[in-house]
Homo-oligomer: A and B are copies of this chain.
Amino acid sequence: MSQFNEVSVVKKANVYFDGKCVSHTVIFADGTRKTLGVIFPSSLTFNVGAPEVMEITGGSCRVRLAGASEWTTYAAGQSFSVPGDSSFDIEVTEMVDYVCHYG
Protein backbone atom coordinates (compact mmCIF):
# COMPACT_ATOMS: atom_id res chain seq x y z
CA MET A 1 0.00 0.00 0.00
CA SER A 2 1.58 3.23 -1.11
CA GLN A 3 -0.60 5.56 0.94
CA PHE A 4 -2.52 5.82 4.22
CA ASN A 5 -6.24 6.54 3.88
CA GLU A 6 -8.73 8.26 6.18
CA VAL A 7 -6.08 9.92 8.30
CA SER A 8 -5.19 13.37 9.55
CA VAL A 9 -1.82 14.88 8.75
CA VAL A 10 -0.05 17.64 10.65
CA LYS A 11 0.90 20.50 8.33
CA LYS A 12 4.25 21.33 9.87
CA ALA A 13 7.18 19.02 9.36
CA ASN A 14 9.42 17.54 12.03
CA VAL A 15 13.02 18.38 11.22
CA TYR A 16 15.99 16.78 12.97
CA PHE A 17 19.75 16.81 12.60
CA ASP A 18 19.93 20.05 10.59
CA GLY A 19 17.55 18.68 7.99
CA LYS A 20 19.13 15.24 7.61
CA CYS A 21 15.78 13.84 8.79
CA VAL A 22 12.42 15.34 7.77
CA SER A 23 9.08 13.79 8.65
CA HIS A 24 5.36 14.54 8.72
CA THR A 25 3.04 13.18 11.40
CA VAL A 26 -0.02 11.13 10.46
CA ILE A 27 -2.85 10.56 12.96
CA PHE A 28 -5.19 7.59 12.58
CA ALA A 29 -8.88 7.40 13.50
CA ASP A 30 -8.02 5.47 16.67
CA GLY A 31 -5.68 8.25 17.78
CA THR A 32 -2.45 6.40 17.06
CA ARG A 33 0.29 8.25 15.25
CA LYS A 34 2.94 7.36 12.71
CA THR A 35 5.58 9.53 11.09
CA LEU A 36 6.48 9.42 7.40
CA GLY A 37 9.91 10.67 6.63
CA VAL A 38 13.20 10.67 4.85
CA ILE A 39 16.77 10.44 6.10
CA PHE A 40 19.48 11.79 3.81
CA PRO A 41 22.89 10.13 3.57
CA SER A 42 24.52 10.59 6.97
CA SER A 43 25.58 8.84 10.17
CA LEU A 44 23.20 9.66 13.01
CA THR A 45 22.16 8.47 16.46
CA PHE A 46 18.44 8.57 17.24
CA ASN A 47 17.28 8.59 20.84
CA VAL A 48 14.03 6.74 21.28
CA GLY A 49 11.42 7.30 23.99
CA ALA A 50 8.47 5.01 23.25
CA PRO A 51 9.18 1.70 21.52
CA GLU A 52 8.99 2.00 17.75
CA VAL A 53 9.16 0.02 14.55
CA MET A 54 11.03 1.63 11.68
CA GLU A 55 9.70 0.38 8.34
CA ILE A 56 12.04 1.20 5.47
CA THR A 57 10.02 1.96 2.33
CA GLY A 58 12.87 3.13 0.11
CA GLY A 59 16.65 3.40 0.06
CA SER A 60 19.13 1.55 2.21
CA CYS A 61 20.79 1.88 5.61
CA ARG A 62 22.85 0.10 8.24
CA VAL A 63 21.57 0.08 11.81
CA ARG A 64 23.10 -0.77 15.16
CA LEU A 65 20.80 -0.88 18.18
CA ALA A 66 22.05 0.40 21.53
CA GLY A 67 24.15 -2.29 23.17
CA ALA A 68 24.62 -4.28 19.97
CA SER A 69 28.01 -4.75 18.36
CA GLU A 70 26.75 -5.78 14.93
CA TRP A 71 25.39 -3.60 12.18
CA THR A 72 22.44 -4.87 10.13
CA THR A 73 21.54 -3.64 6.67
CA TYR A 74 17.93 -2.77 5.88
CA ALA A 75 16.42 -1.87 2.53
CA ALA A 76 12.96 -1.18 1.15
CA GLY A 77 10.39 -3.63 2.51
CA GLN A 78 12.32 -4.35 5.72
CA SER A 79 11.71 -3.17 9.29
CA PHE A 80 13.49 -3.11 12.61
CA SER A 81 12.17 -2.71 16.16
CA VAL A 82 13.67 -0.34 18.69
CA PRO A 83 12.99 -0.86 22.42
CA GLY A 84 11.72 2.09 24.48
CA ASP A 85 14.20 4.38 26.26
CA SER A 86 17.07 3.38 24.03
CA SER A 87 18.79 4.55 20.87
CA PHE A 88 20.10 3.36 17.56
CA ASP A 89 22.89 4.36 15.24
CA ILE A 90 22.04 4.58 11.57
CA GLU A 91 24.26 4.99 8.53
CA VAL A 92 22.30 5.96 5.48
CA THR A 93 24.06 5.28 2.21
CA GLU A 94 21.11 5.84 -0.12
CA MET A 95 18.34 8.22 0.98
CA VAL A 96 15.85 6.34 3.11
CA ASP A 97 12.07 6.71 3.05
CA TYR A 98 10.52 5.35 6.22
CA VAL A 99 7.34 4.93 8.20
CA CYS A 100 7.84 4.99 11.96
CA HIS A 101 5.21 3.06 13.94
CA TYR A 102 4.92 3.79 17.66
CA GLY A 103 3.79 1.69 20.60
What residues of chain A have their CB less than 8 Å away from a CB belonging to chain B? 1-13, 15, 19, 22, 24, 26-27, 36-38, 40, 57-58, 95, 97, 99
Main secondary structure of the interface of A (DSSP, over half): strand
A37 to B24 Cα, complex, angstroms: 9
From residue A22, how far is it (CB to closest CB) to chain B in Å? 4
The oligomer's copy count stands at: 2
Instruction: Identify the closest chain B residue to A14 (Cβ).
Output: B38
B36 A11 Cβ-Cβ under 8 A: yes
In the complex, which residues of chain B have a beta carbon less than 8 angstroms from the beta carbon of A27? Answer: 3
In the complex, which residues of chain B have a beta carbon less than 8 angstroms from the beta carbon of A13? Answer: 22, 36-38, 97
Instruction: Identify the closest chain B residue to A5 (Cβ).
Output: B8
